[in-house]
Amino acid sequence: MKVTVIGGGSWATALVKLISDQEAANKVELTWWVRREETAEHLRKFRHNPDYLSSVLLPTESMVITNDLSLSIQNSELIILAIPSAFLYAQLEELTANAFEGKLVASAIKGVIPQTFEVVGAFLKNRFNIPEKDLLVIGGPCHAEEVALEKLSFLTIASGSIETAEKLAKILESRFLKTTTSDDLYGTEYAAVLKNVYAIASGICHGLGYGDNFQAVLMTYAVKEMDFFLEICSPMERDVNDHVYLGDLLVTAYSQFSRNRTFGMMVGKGYSVKFAQMEMNMIAEGYYATKSMHEILLKMKVNMPILESMYQILYQGAIPKNVVRRMIEGF
């Protein structure tokens, strides 16, 4: 199978590592799209990403590395999107409506398209007429940094077709990465969006000095809030305690590698939102997701207290300790 990974960040680099490690066994031809030609040139010459997971050596001589988006998609059967949701709309704007016709398209993006207030799967379906059987979502719990270190990790591949999900699961599975499949295409994606917002909440509370006892309570209410929303937006039989929902939430809220938790912790310690963003080298998807989810909740006339508390802090300039105190009163 001809596979293209779109993106040059940590998760894109980790996915390239996973696929290239299994390339021979799975008979995969890999193309890697990165935005800048100088990055592509560095990858070809030095075999590592200069900006993300730079300690990981990659067999770049056995793959095509390009910054030509149309060509990399045209020559591929499976496209994996791994760029921040805030930039996806503009990046794909140059493509024609039938650019993905007859192809499988997977989202490794944990965010909402801010221009349309859609999760990536819904955006791809509506913008490019991709049937749900050809759409996939790569869910966690899984941090790119631990994949790079070859620590045992788990992924859930969701699709409108289990057969399609199994194709991607086979490509990604390795001795240190286990895969499962799901037909919860949109629920998996919304859960991945929400867990980033809740990780920011966890970070803010940690920055304010709340301890592990409270963090356990916060995550209990967060998973209840997630379950409540998933039942409204994508009603189907699911167990929110599965690792693609609860597990991904926990690792994102607690891990040292979580950029959303780190971002929240800085805000909780008194940094301004803008300064915290400038200090971080990577995108905290939960920041953008908070605003998009707030707009979605307004349209749906649904109240989710933890998410709304994060919106007040991140976008309305509310004082974190006051907002968190009011949020706790509702628990």
Cβ atoms within 10 Å of 12's Cβ, excluding its own: 24
* Residue 186, token pair as written in the block: 């949109």
pLDDT, position 229: 96
Identify which of 220, 222, 187 has the alpha carbon closest to the alpha carbon of residue 201: 222
Give 152: exposed, middle or buried? Use CB within 10 Å, 0-12, 13-18, 19+.
Answer: exposed
SS3 content of the chain, % helix, strand, coil (to 5): 55, 15, 30
pLDDT, position 188: 95
Helix 320-329 to helix 185-207 angle (10° resolution) is 120
β-pair type (135-139, 104-107): parallel
* Residue 68, token pair as written in the block: 């030509």
pLDDT in tens, 28-77: 899 999 999 999 999 999 999 998 888 999 999 989 999 999 999 998 99
pLDDT, position 24: 53
pLDDT, position 26: 65
pTM score of the predicted model: 0.91
Please state, in angstroms and rounded to a whole number, the distance separating the CA atoms of residues 266 and 203: 8
pLDDT, position 228: 96
pLDDT, position 167: 94
pLDDT in tens, 230-276: 999 989 999 999 999 999 999 999 988 889 999 999 999 999 988 88
CA 176 to chain CA mean position, Å:
20
Please state, in angstroms and rounded to a whole number, the distance separating the CA atoms of residues 227 and 194: 10
Enumerate residue ranges in the chain where pLDDT < 70. Answer: 23-26, 281-282
pLDDT, position 28: 87
Q: Assess contact for 14 and 147: CB atoms under 8 A.
A: yes
